[in-house]
Amino acid sequence: MIELNESQTRLQKFLWKNSKSSPTKVYELRTVTYGTISAPYLATKVLQQLTLDEEKNSPLASKVLLQDFYMDDCLSGSSEFTEFETIQSELRQLLQRGGMTLHKWCSSYSPTTAQEFPLERNTA
């Protein structure tokens, strides 16, 4: 999910009624609308812009964003566990600065060390 700048949410308003007799409510969408023609472009553009903006602060994550992402999926890794932890931490922080949350981790690392990762972040 990519969050919009607060000043832009007024551009994505929609109307809602629970029934014909209920009052009309006005809502503002706070995220990029998926399912539109431009959504894949916007997701890719946000990742590229984050890389340009944050390359000095998050060098490993920036490299992963450029080389290991396809649309909103990342397939990356490291032969060194400590480097992997750094990449994971940098990616989370970097994507949060862009209004996105990284989730659904999967690892071939041993079950003993898998306990070091929060359960809600792992998937099989």
The encoded tokens of residue 104 equal: 């659904």
The structural domains of the chain, with segments of one domain joined by +, span 1-33, 38-98
Residues 3 and 30 sit within 8 Å (Cβ to Cβ): yes
In the predicted model, is pLDDT for residue 122 greater than 80? no
| Burial of 107: CB neighbours in 10 Å, binned 0-12, 13-18, 19+ | middle
pLDDT in tens, 5-62: 889 888 888 899 999 999 999 999 888 777 677 777 877 888 888 899 989 999 999 9
From residue 102, give the alpha-carbon distance in Å to each of 50, 88, 97.
14, 9, 11
pLDDT of residue 119: 45
Q: Residue 34: CB partners within 8 Å, gap ≥ 6?
A: none
Verdict on whether the full-model pTM lies above 0.75:
no
pLDDT of residue 124: 45
Please give the DSSP secondary-structure letter assigned to residue 3: B
pLDDT in tens, 47-105: 888 899 989 999 999 999 889 987 778 888 888 888 888 888 999 999 888 878 877 77
Alpha-carbon dihedral sign for residues 101, 61, 65, 80: negative
